[in-house]
A and B are shown apart, each in its own frame.
Chain A
Amino acid sequence: MTAALIVGILAAAGTYLVLQRGIVRITLGFVLLGHAATTALLAAGGVARRDLAFVGAPGTPGDPLPQAFALTAIVISFGVTAFLLALAYRSRDTLGHDDVEAPDLEGSLLDQSASALELRIPTADEDAEPVDDAPGNREDGR
């Protein structure tokens, strides 16, 4: 039950965040979804056995196989997170903002490649409110 609740909470929060507009929040959501996946993987091995999964360890050792999978998953999601952060960094540099749905899609990298292929891109969500933090405002000193 505990594992199910943990997975549910993480998945719900991660889902909410990846559906937002800023690439930073999307990245945060991705990290949370990664946690959810890792926890679910680990739960697959059973949560009743909770002692160290070492040879010769006393008690009831946990199943080591899901642990190895989960370890791999954690490191992989770290690699992907790092790459997402690089994307956020670039979009800030190139576009001046990190809003994946900003109205001026002209400048987005995806749009550039898409227009090279003559694909049409649907316009941004129409009910979106204007970005309340235009570049140059607030804490960002530049």
Chain B
Amino acid sequence: MLLVSVAAVFVLAALTPLLVRGLGRDAGYVGAAVLAGIAVWLGASTPTVLGGEAVTAEVRWIPQVDISFTLRMDGIGLLFALIVLGIGAVVLAYAARYFGRDQRRKASRYLALLTFFAGAMLGLVLADDVVLLFVFWELTSISSFFLIGGLGEGKAGATRALLITSIGGLALFAGAILLGVEGGTTSLSALAADPSAIVASPLAPVIVVLLLLAVATKSAQLPFHFWLPGAMVAPTPVSTYLHAATMVKAGIYLLFRTTGILSEVPMWTPTLVVLGGATAVYAAFVATTQDDLKGLLAFSTVSQLGMIVLILGVGTPLAIAVAGLYTLSHALYKATLFMTVGIIDSATGTRSLAALGGLRRHLPLVALAGGLAAISMAGLLPLVGFVAKEEAFAALLHAETAWVGPVGTALAVLASFGTFAYSARYYLGTFEGPVRTPAHRAPAGFVLPAVLTGVAGLALGLVVPVLDPLVNGLARDATGTDPELHLALWHGLTLPLGLSILVVLVGSALYLQRDRVTGLLTRRPLPRGADVFDRAYDGLLALGSRVGRTSTSDATVTYLLPVLLTAVAVVGAATATIDLSDLGAPAPSLAGDGVVIVLLLGAVIAAVVARGRLAAIAALGLTGFTVAVWFVLLGAPDLALTQILIETLTVALVVVVFRRLPGRFPNAGRRRRVLGIVTAALVGTGAATATYLATGRRELSDIGGSLLAEGQDLTGGANVVNTILVDFRALDTLGEVVVLAIAALGILALVRFVPRDAVPMPHRDDPTAAIEPDFSDARFGGAGMIGSQLLRTTTAMLAPAMVVASLWLLLRGHNAVGGGFIGGLVAGAAIVLRYFSHGHADIWHARTTRTVPTVGIGVLIAVGYGLGGLGLTGAFLAGGKIPLPFVDDVAASLVFDIGVYVVVVGLVASIIRHLGQSVGPHSLPGRDDDAGDLDTRETARTGSGGLS
């Protein structure tokens, strides 16, 4: 039943545009009928629900974290569901006449969104799972944004409302998760049944604060109240439904729902009483100063919501029951009042109290509805609002916490002074007195919904005892105790009655002296919440763009300096705080180590002070080889070999690129040099300290030990480093292969496809024309060629030998020094050598060096190996053995290593192909076959055959 109800409302929302197309604005009546039907359907189970048997419906949702799509209707859910559906039906009927006959587009949009909101709100008040409640909560915020934002007008107000309620939404989400974690379940009913775990939790105050943040933002409590008056730019049906009767009650609903769980937490009652009381008093008096009727009603709503929060803060079953009654009566009269304001606005063209008066003669029915509602709001006999206010005073007076009684009552009475005064202002200022602005007639269909809710307030007041089971059942479901409240219009001469009389007297005085009161209240204007919010919001955006700007700079100093200094600070803080006494002895240094350090110092100093590119390249190479020596000393031959090869290639590549760059480096200035030296000293010291303190002191790690002991049995390979790369941590290596492939493709894209001045591809049919003979740079012979016949001859023999050697390294890698990376680098070195001896064209026309095919095939081999493992053994990248006839079995991971090999070759080749081409900006015959490198068709192969 519950699932069908919620789903039906959403389906109705989806169908509304179609209904509007067929029926025009009358589609609102269809929607109203459906909502009313659902209300009756749900209302039919009132006896069961109030008898203590909640209606539930459950669908499995996220069983992994024990979150289910559970809807549950108990007394609280019933009251709110009836308000949502009942007021929703009335508002849709009202909206059917609010929009003009010709405003189809507007009517379609608003009717659909209002119905969608009704579905979200219904889901919110029926959700039993707190995570589900959060989902619906956010849906109401989003629909509110679109309903306020409208068709472009009111964007600022809509944005403020969305941001404020989103902050609350996030707080609710955090609170919901903490509730689930601390309480062991996300079911609200289960939590309420046994709140002991939550109350005992040290995080209970955090949960309370988070949930109250959600409540205060959604239900417009201080200091977040300002979004609600700002939301009044929305059309009146929206204000009526969302910002008076229902959505702003979502926070109140959350309090009803959680009071049984959290009211035992000590801070609950004081916080709510202060929050609600302050909001009620403040907003009530601000409301008396408003000239715009909608503004008056908006602040009145804020004030009344504060009253409900105040009553709920008392936390006794009696107070909960009274809060339920207050919520119902407020929904009725506030909906009526908003609807009358919409009618007045359309009939007279103004909502300003200064321009209104005497409308009773023109709009008698509106005056009837508005009058009844105003009486109810002011808390006068015999309307339901009177009962609600009387009982509220009574509940406050009977508060369990000692100070809450007098303080809460005083705040409520104070707020009621203002309430009485603005109620009088609304009715007397609009309907009585001289006519200031003449009014058009309002059609009956426009007025009747307002009359309906207005009269309902009177009727309920007269037969108020019928509400006994509802409010008592609700209080029992919230707190577990039935307060046995008996509602009545007349309880005899009691203290609450005396307070009511006081309210009437003081309120009347406030009304009569309204100009003086307004002057007094507005003499020193408080900072407007919206302005404060806007300033904070703009400031936040400015801060964000300032932080972001550091990373958009071209200068490395701007964005690297903060990162480097932070790293140094972290090391410093760690060194200062950790206990250095039990570190253990550092690993001993050997005699040979000193040589490494001396070599390294020399190389590094040369690299830093070098002002010319050749010196820098030489120093770079020396540094790398020194590091390789260190790797050898540490027993890492694979690493040393890789380092040497990489260093060779890096130097070669730097040479290739450097000859296109200035011979000397740009001078950064003296201040930069000093900054660089200071930062370098700090970072160097930090890095050395961290390395000294944190590394080198331990024995073989458990993993390292077991890999050494069992690696060969598991993989068949004796080279443990290689088995780690291709077997144990093959997924890492796959990721690395992809990074290398991206670098290769990135170079291709950067050189050939960046729109401005892309370097054209050499022409494929005419190899000699493809290369600009760049003899201007004589040292390199132009076009990447060193004009040496000796080198050409040597390379012609050496390069094939290197390729053979690389394959040998690849094949033996599993058991001895070698592997895909090392093999690929050796083959890459052969390509570079060939480039220097034979020139760019030679490399360009070798099909094996083409970037996209080579890199692509390599990645495909690696991924294919992984998928093969998945298919055969069920594990991605699973190893194994390939049985071969006559010779020993081969480890399957060799296939993976071949993929690695191919990608590495592709990367080196990509660099030579695209960066090694010596071209002037306009020197090439520009043909239209730029995509040649991506083209897999047969290409003319010329030259001396390349490496394939």
Q: Which residues of A are in contact with B by a Cβ distance under 8 Å?
A: 1-13, 15-22, 24-28, 31-32, 35-36, 38-40, 42-56, 60-68, 70-72, 74-76, 78-83, 85-90, 92-94, 97-102, 105, 108-112, 114, 119-122, 124-125, 127-129, 131-133, 135, 137-142
Contact = CB atoms under 8 A, between A and B. Distances in A.
Interface string B59-102: 00000000000000000000000000000000000000000000
A94 B743 contact: no
B648 to A, nearest CB: 11
B665 A25 contact: yes
Given A18-B560, A55-B712, A11 B634 contact: no
Contact of B729 (A40, A50, A68, A133): A68
A38 B638 CA distance: 13
Contacts of A61: 635, 700, 708
A131 B663 CA distance: 13
A83 B697 CA distance: 36
B701 A45 contact: yes
Contacts of B600: 6, 9-10
A8 B684 contact: yes
Contacts of A3: 587, 691, 695-696
Nearest to A5: B597
Interface stretch (B172-180, B185-193, B671-679): B671-679
B620 interface: yes
A64 B720 contact: yes
Contacts of A50: 590, 633-635
B921 interface: yes
B688 A7 contact: yes
Contact of B552 (A12, A98, A114): A114
Interface string B191-222: 00000000000000000000000000000000
B636 A62 contact: yes
A133 B601 contact: no
Contact of B604 (A10, A75, A127): A10
B663 A138 contact: yes
Nearest to B606: A13
A67 B747 contact: no
A10 B630 CA distance: 13
A63 B634 CA distance: 10
B658 interface: yes
Interface of B: 545, 548-549, 552-558, 560-561, 564, 586-590, 593-594, 596-597, 600-601, 604-605, 607-608, 613, 616, 620, 623-624, 627, 630-631, 633-639, 642-643, 646, 649-650, 653-654, 657-658, 660-672, 675-677, 679-681, 683-692, 694-701, 703-704, 707-708, 711-712, 717-721, 724-725, 729, 732-733, 736, 739-740, 742-744, 746-747, 750-751, 754, 756-757, 759, 776-777, 816, 821, 904, 907, 910-911, 914-915, 920-921
B220 to A, nearest CB: 36
**In the complex, which of the residues B556, B590, B653, B750 has the most CB atoms of chain A within 10 Å of its own CB atom?**
B556
Contact of B914 (A27, A65, A86, A88): A86
Contact of B661 (A65, A74, A98): A98
Contacts of A127: 669-672
Contacts of A79: 739-740, 742-744, 907
A114 B699 CA distance: 51
Contacts of B733: 72
Given A28-B616, A124-B555, A89 B589 contact: no
Nearest to A50: B635
B557 A125 contact: yes
B915 A85 contact: yes
Contacts of B667: 21, 128-129, 131-132
Contacts of B564: 15
Majority secondary structure, B binding face: helix
Given A17-B608, A71-B821, A98 B662 contact: yes
B754 A109 contact: yes
Contacts of A48: 587-588, 696
Contacts of A56: 712, 718
B668 A21 contact: yes
Given A46-B587, A71-B821, A97-B666, A122 B558 contact: yes
B743 to A, nearest CB: 4
24 contacts: A1-B586, A6-B597, A7-B691, A8-B688, A9-B601, A12-B685, A19-B561, A21-B667, A46-B697, A50-B590, A50-B633, A50-B634, A51-B635, A53-B721, A67-B638, A71-B721, A75-B642, A75-B904, A86-B911, A94-B757, A121-B549, A128-B672, A129-B667, A137-B662
Given A92-B660, A93-B757, A24 B613 contact: yes
A78 to B, nearest CB: 5
Contacts of B635: 49-53, 61-62
Contacts, number: 382
Contact of A140 (B663, B717, B757, B904): B663
Given A21-B666, A47-B696, A68 B691 contact: no
A17 B600 CA distance: 16
Contacts of A135: 662
Question: Which of A51, A67, A75 lies at the interface centre, i.e. has the most chain B CB atoms within 10 A of its CB?
Answer: A75
Contacts of A13: 604-605, 607-608, 680, 684
Across the A-B interface, the 7 shortest Cβ-Cβ residue pairs: A12-B684, A8-B688, A139-B663, A63-B704, A4-B692, A11-B687, A68-B724
Interface centre among A20, A55, A81, A108 (most CB of B within 10 A): A55
A65 B907 contact: no
Contacts of B642: 71, 74-75
Contacts of A78: 646, 649-650
Among A36, A83, A114, the one with the most B-chain Cβ atoms within 10 Å of its Cβ is A83
Contacts of A47: 587, 634, 695-696
Contacts of B665: 20-22, 24-25, 133
Contact of B821 (A26, A75, A111, A142): A75
A119 B549 CA distance: 8
Given A71-B639, A93-B660, 18 more contacts: A4-B691, A12-B681, A19-B675, A19-B680, A27-B654, A35-B623, A39-B627, A47-B696, A65-B707, A67-B639, A68-B721, A78-B646, A83-B750, A89-B660, A108-B554, A122-B549, A125-B669, A133-B663
Contacts of A12: 680-681, 683-685, 687
Contacts of A39: 627, 630, 691
B721 to A, nearest CB: 5
A100 B555 contact: yes
A63 B649 CA distance: 27
Nearest to A18: B556
A15 B736 CA distance: 25
A40 B691 contact: yes
A59 to B, nearest CB: 8
Contact of B684 (A9, A27, A42): A9
Contact of A82 (B630, B661, B747): B747
B553 A65 contact: no
B896 to A, nearest CB: 14
A8 B691 contact: yes
